[in-house]
Amino acid sequence: MKWEKLKDIVDNSIKWTRGIYQNASRGKLIEFNSNKITACYYRPFYKLYIYFSKELNETRYQMPKIYGETGQCENRMICYANNEQTPFLLMSIKNLCDLNFCARGSFCLPLFIYDKEGNPQENITSWALELFQTHYKNQEIKKEQIFNYVYAVLHDPKYRQKYEQNLKREFPRVPFYDNFEQWAKLGKELIDLHLNYETVEKYPLQRIDSDNAKIPKAKLKADKAKGTIQLDDNTRLENVPCEAWEYLLGNRSALEWVLDQYKEKTPKDATIAQNFNTYKFADHKEHVIDLLCRVCKVSVETVRIVQALHNLSPILE
């Protein structure tokens, strides 16, 4: 049967792509493998699970080289987006990510790449290493330090301001700053914060509960001026520090990314809305409160480190 004719008889419990239609028309079976289920960043500070398979994922681009064929190889990656519509933003991650993770058309810079046998290879070239070692007259510089250095420079407020227009349309170019070790050290602090946001110490936000509604309606709205987050009719968080809102990824703060992703929404796709829209904020409320406390801590610490980068930067304002 031609794949075009299968469209009228398929089961809509999965998303049928052109590739799946073609496999079905050839009678090709797909064997389930639980090892292919892995965590995936859908948006900043928001993970889902994905079944990572060449048969079911229509376009995987270079991701098998970055995280292996099953998507579970250990790695670190600088994910950034630059376009005319969105301010430059980036985040370090350690799992697969959506194509539009940061914004429309995100780019990924991994620390390692993997061959077909699953062997890791350093993604920073020996040419780049020699360039850094020669410039700084230091043969002890390691490739991972360069990775950390780049992450720090890309967070430098002065760098972003001076090269704002370039960052909208070009691949970022990294200058040689003095105090390489200090930049690499601060970059590592940022990477560790952003990679491990789920386990960092929680910021002590104050939780206020009431019994205003038996079935509270989800709100997930922030009041930056008051330093509060209204989760639903019965619960709000208070004492959100002002600096927590200053950590921006594009046009949103990290806290706002979390709030937006956990809102109850009606899917545009009628089939999904009718058959699969079972999400309720109440089922995830405690997890969201825990996550907000941790992301708040990450935000405050990021702002502190970015201020240190600002003070260290040689670029004149």
Mean pLDDT for the stretch of residues 49-56: 86
Percent of the chain with pLDDT over 70: 94
pLDDT at residue number 1 = 45
pLDDT at residue number 270 = 77
83 and 48 fall within a common domain: yes
Cα separation of the two ends of the chain: 66
pLDDT at residue number 8 = 57
pLDDT at residue number 232 = 96
pLDDT at residue number 274 = 77
Q: Is residue 74 part of a domain?
A: yes
181 and 212 fall within a common domain: no
SS3 for 124-172, per residue?
CCHHHHHHHHHHCCCCCCCHHHHHHHHHHHHHCHHHHHHCHHHHHHCCC
138 and 104 fall within a common domain: no
pLDDT at residue number 288 = 97
Q: Is residue 26 part of a domain?
A: no
pLDDT at residue number 275 = 75
pLDDT band of residue 61 (cuts 50, 70, 90) is confident
Q: Which of 143, 170, 195 is the last residue of a domain?
A: 195
Residues 6+ apart with CB under 8 A from 183: 148, 149, 152, 153, 177, 309, 312
What's the pTM? 0.89
- Condensed to tens digits (0 to 9), the pLDDT of residues 168-204 reads 888 899 999 999 999 999 999 999 999 999 999 999 9
146 and 109 fall within a common domain: no
- Condensed to tens digits (0 to 9), the pLDDT of residues 24-35 reads 777 778 888 888
224 and 296 fall within a common domain: yes
Q: Which of 64, 88, 122 is the last residue of a domain?
A: 122
Q: Is residue 229 part of a domain?
A: yes
CA distance linking residue 308 with residue 297, whole number of Å: 17
pLDDT band of residue 283 (cuts 50, 70, 90) is very high
Q: Is residue 7 part of a domain?
A: no
Total Cβ atoms within 10 A of residue 251: 11
300 and 212 fall within a common domain: yes
Q: Residue 102 above 90 pLDDT?
A: no
pLDDT at residue number 205 = 98
Q: Which of 147, 176, 195 is the last residue of a domain?
A: 195
Mean pLDDT for the stretch of residues 36-61: 88
Q: Report the mean per-residue pLDDT for the chain.
A: 89
- Condensed to tens digits (0 to 9), the pLDDT of residues 212-269 reads 888 999 999 999 999 999 999 999 999 999 999 999 998 899 999 999 999 998 878 7
38 and 117 fall within a common domain: yes
131 and 106 fall within a common domain: no
pLDDT band of residue 5 (cuts 50, 70, 90) is low
Q: Is residue 210 part of a domain?
A: yes
What range does the domain containing 249 cover?
206-305
168 or 111, greater pLDDT: 111
Q: Residue 56 above 60 pLDDT?
A: yes
Q: Residue 3 above 50 pLDDT?
A: no
Q: Is residue 6 part of a domain?
A: no
Q: Is residue 273 part of a domain?
A: yes
- Condensed to tens digits (0 to 9), the pLDDT of residues 297-312 reads 999 999 999 999 999 9
Residue type, 241: P
pLDDT at residue number 9 = 54
Q: Is residue 317 part of a domain?
A: no
- Domains held by the chain: number: 3
